Amino acid sequence: MDYDVKDKTVIITGGSEGVGAATARLFASHGANLVLVARGKRKLERIAEELRDKTKVEIMAMDVSDADACANIYKKADFEFGSVDILINNAGYHERGSVESVAANDLAAMIDVNLKAPILLCKLAVRYMKEAGGGAIINVGSLAGRIPVPGAATYSASKFGLRAFTFALGAELKDSGIKLAVVSPGTILTGFITSNIDAVSDLNFSQPIVTAEDVAQEILNLVSNNKREVALPRASGYLTTLSYIFPGLFKLLRPYLLKKGRRVKRQIKAELHQAEEEQGT
């Protein structure tokens, strides 16, 4: 399937930084019209200003867990650009820690942002995409949605749910011309990780680190190809599949992975500390 995104209308949630901003830059370079959604207006304005030399950009500062505001995204996109062609559900929330230690409001917020909001946004997108004659919905999952992750149980559950929803909705819409797919990345060195790196499980660092640009490229690829899912890095995707099928394998590998992850995490923390000192001088 060959799908040219030039002049297509692309909605990107969590579009102000990290994977969302990298995806916005990539789609802008291909001439897509952008509607960028995030909570922080100032960061949205910065990325929009950066990209307006390349393409048309609209922004909406809002919380994706607000159902009424979600409906307004589509009204704005349709009014400004005349269609809705691609939805990228990238916004995410993660409060790290055991279920027992995380506040109830934060547990609920992870489900609201990571699962309920994408479900609603997908539902709203379908009507507009059918009117446009087709389109694509790419949901940003996680390797934590492919294998249970202790210390991130609710986040893991929300990403498992998003992955399952993607496949099920894709089956419902198989004859509609609307493509459904999920990208499942491992650890990405964005503020999502580095802002509270000590709370991130050592397991996260036992696999190769991917970049926001890596994920953005796979999102663009998924719009056009016939794949339902891409896991990044590829080797970790295979490992999560094997570990899910054979739980004893993960139990066997866990001590080795934790040891490796601790070593890599220390190195990353040292590099971040050095970078902060250089910026301060």
Domain contains 3: no
Tell me what pLDDT residue 148 has.
85
Residue spans of the chain under pLDDT 50: 1
CA distance 28 to 25: 5
Domain contains 2: no
- For 45, half-sphere exposure in the C-beta direction (CA atoms, 13 angstrom radius) is 3
How many residues in the chain? 281
Tell me what pLDDT residue 209 has.
87
Domain contains 18: yes
H helix or E strand, kind and range, residue 71 = helix 67-81
pLDDT digits (tens, 9 = 90+) for 71-92: 999 999 999 999 999 999 999 9
How many CB atoms within 10 Å of residue 25?
17
| DSSP characters over 97-127 | S-TTTS-HHHHHHHHIIIIIHHHHHHHHHHH
H helix or E strand, kind and range, residue 185 = strand 178-185
Our measurement of the distance from residue 203's CA atom to the centroid of its chain's CA atoms, rounded to an integer in Å, reads: 20
Domain contains 210: yes
CA distance 226 to 21: 25
Tell me what pLDDT residue 187 has.
85
Q: Report the domain count for the chain.
A: 1
> Which one, of 151, 249, 270, lies nearest residue 204 by Cα?
151
Domain contains 198: yes
Domain contains 25: yes
Strand order, beta sheet including 57-61: 57-61, 33-38, 9-13, 86-89, 135-140, 178-185, 229-232
How confident is the prediction for the chain on average, in pLDDT?
92
C-alpha dihedral over 252, 254, 256, 259, to 10 degrees? -160
> Which one, of 157, 224, 200, lies nearest residue 1 by Cα?
224
Strand partners for 138 = 88, 181
Helix axes 41-51, 18-29, angle to 10 degrees: 20
Domain that holds residue 224: 9-280
Catalytic site residues?
A: 155
Domain contains 254: yes
Tell me what pLDDT residue 191 has.
72
Tell me what pLDDT residue 249 has.
82
Domain contains 63: yes
**Peptide bond just before 233 cis, omega within 30 deg:** yes
Assign residue 39 the CATH number of its domain: 3.40.50.720
